[in-house]
Amino acid sequence: MYKELVTAAKVEKLPVVNEFIECLLADMDCSPKTQMQIELVVEEIFVNIASYAYEGDEGETIIRGRIIEDPSGMELIFMDKGKPYDPLARMDPNVNASMEERNIGGLGIFLVKKNVDAIHYEYKDGKNILSILKNF
């Protein structure tokens, strides 16, 4: 069963989002490394929604989360009604290039993809929907 958080899409709300995630993980026996990876992923996704989805207008983010039994893990779904944007459509940055040769942006979603076991995006019913799965 999913638990849900609805909050303003504002960077200042990140502590509320982190508390929601901590509550989901409270009864789970996941390693500190896994918990850190989940926190990194959640921060990156939420801050991107808060910073870019509504182009300066007010908006909200809905986060649904649930713990999965077999295999043990967590599913998180991030939804917003901001402008359509598929973060997975962007090419991964060349992390081996020098700083001068790298394009700006894209490193955050690259880190998200590297720290989850599955990720999926769709735009449906006027909403951006980004789902992630992290196995413990």
Q: List pLDDT tens digits, range 61-95.
A: 999 999 998 889 999 999 999 999 999 987 765 55
The architecture (CATH level 2) of 3-135 comes to 2-Layer Sandwich (3.30)
SS (H, E, C) the chain: CCEEEEEECCHHHHHHHHHHHHHHHCCCCCCHHHHHHHHHHHHHHHHHHHHHHCCCCCCEEEEEEEEECCCCEEEEEEEECCCCCCHHHCCCCCCCCCCCCCCCCCHHHHHHHHHCCEEEEEEECCEEEEEEEEEC
Return the pLDDT at 27: 79
The pLDDT of residue 5 is above 70: yes
The pLDDT of residue 132 is above 80: yes
pTM of the model: 0.89
Taking only the tens place, the pLDDT of each residue in 16-59 is 999 999 999 987 888 899 999 999 999 999 999 999 999 889 99
The pLDDT of residue 100 is above 70: no
